[in-house]
Amino acid sequence: MIREAEWIWRDGEVIPWRDANVHLLSLAVQFGSSVFEGVRCYGTPHGPAIFRWHEHLRRLYDSCRIYRMEPEWTPDELTAATADLIARNELEACYIRPMVLRGYGDAGMMPGVSPIETFIACWPWGTYLGEGALENGVDVCVSTWQRPEPNTFPALAKAAGHYNNAQLIKMEAAANGYVEAIALAPNGLVSEGSGQNVFLVRDGVIRTTGVDGTILSGITRASIITIARDLGIEVEQGTIPREMLYTADEVFFTGTAAEVTPIRSIDRITVGAGTAGPVTLALQKQFLDIVYGRVPDRHGWLTFVEDARSGSATRRMSAADAERVGPHSHSEPSAMEPRADPGR
């Protein structure tokens, strides 16, 4: 169950959590016509900090562009709104879910008059794959459900409708007694988990699936590749046959929710020694040290909530990025004061 916060941001105003509704016949409900991001905010010695917010925000606007959706709000406005929302909800650490969706108006495939609506929610969320998963690892299977063929769904977009496939993968794994699953691409090669990228380690070399049209190009994935290279560990991106999963020394998931989660068995075949391996643990430690502010943020990955509220930490996109993102500046100031809660 979601641990509810008090407030949600909707198109410039902060509203009570229970008032964040959309119409039953909105295109988002009928056809999954929405895009979103999942972002973590961590408690650090210097206050709450959002991990790689600007990269998540760019991907949100990329997803909007792919699906021909133009949000009303600029990246800077969403940054300020998100920081303000975290503070209003009095959260030191949380999961953040910005969403852009098509609302009520049309009932067919052409969105026409359906408005574009933008929401931001945040709430406390602990370890995604269960207590002890980061320390002990998880047992997974190879799913009978595969990822879509490239040029069916745009895999680089993070869109709600895509996750029906992910739900099938996750539900099948749970029904068969596994925590999670790894899906194959249509060509039978390793793709990704239901909501995670997959890495394996063999003879000290890390390997992960390349951006092949079947995976989401994960932001945590990119972070782990950078961290591995910082630690002097070789990383290869390319194709992975299924059988390499069974013969790897280590296998692990990465993702905003999963962070860096070791995999201890696949299809009941033990991975390595059946515990988190040394490479996985080294990467996990460095990742967690960065996000919790225990080591210097040498890559500039943390956006501190208090600084973002004051505007001092809002990183400006380049002119090329701004043109690519595209939304016009909103002409009126954001209405950030919460509406009266009729239940209070």
Mean pLDDT of the chain: 90
pLDDT at 107: 85
219 within a domain of the structure (yes/no) = yes
Q: Which of 170, 158, 203 is nearest to 63 (CA)?
A: 158
Quickly tell me which residue has 């496939």 as its tokens: 165
How do residues 221-272 score in pLDDT, each as one tens digit? 999 999 999 999 999 999 999 999 999 999 999 999 999 999 999 999 999 9
Contact between 221 and 208 (Cβ < 8 Å): yes
- Distance from C-alpha of 119 to C-alpha of 334, rounded to nearest angstrom: 13
* 147 and 228 fall within a common domain: yes
**Number of structural domains, the chain?**
2
Q: What 8-state DSSP symbol labels residue 20?
A: -
* 75 and 143 fall within a common domain: no
337 within a domain of the structure (yes/no) = no
pLDDT at 110: 86
* 66 and 187 fall within a common domain: no
340 within a domain of the structure (yes/no) = no
CA angle 88, 92, 95 (to 5 degrees): 85
* 68 and 183 fall within a common domain: no
How do residues 6-18 score in pLDDT, each as one tens digit? 999 999 999 999 9
Domain, as residue range, for 116: 7-125+300-325
Q: Token pair of 161, please?
A: 């409708």
Residue 243, burial from CB neighbour count under 10 angstroms (0-12, 13-18, 19+): exposed
* 19 and 68 fall within a common domain: yes
Main-chain dihedrals φ then ψ at residue 205, nearest 5 degrees? -105, 135
Residue range 42-64: mean pLDDT, rounded:
98
| Percent residues over pLDDT 70 in the chain | 90
* 307 and 282 fall within a common domain: no
Contact between 35 and 119 (Cβ < 8 Å): no
* 94 and 176 fall within a common domain: no
CATH number of the domain that 287 lies in? 3.20.10.10
pLDDT at 179: 96
Q: Is it the case that residue 343 has pLDDT exceeding 80?
A: no
Annotated catalytic residues are 158
334 within a domain of the structure (yes/no) = no
How do residues 280-312 score in pLDDT, each as one tens digit? 999 999 999 999 999 999 999 999 999 999 765
Residue range 69-76: mean pLDDT, rounded:
95
Tell me the three state secondary structure of residue 17. helix
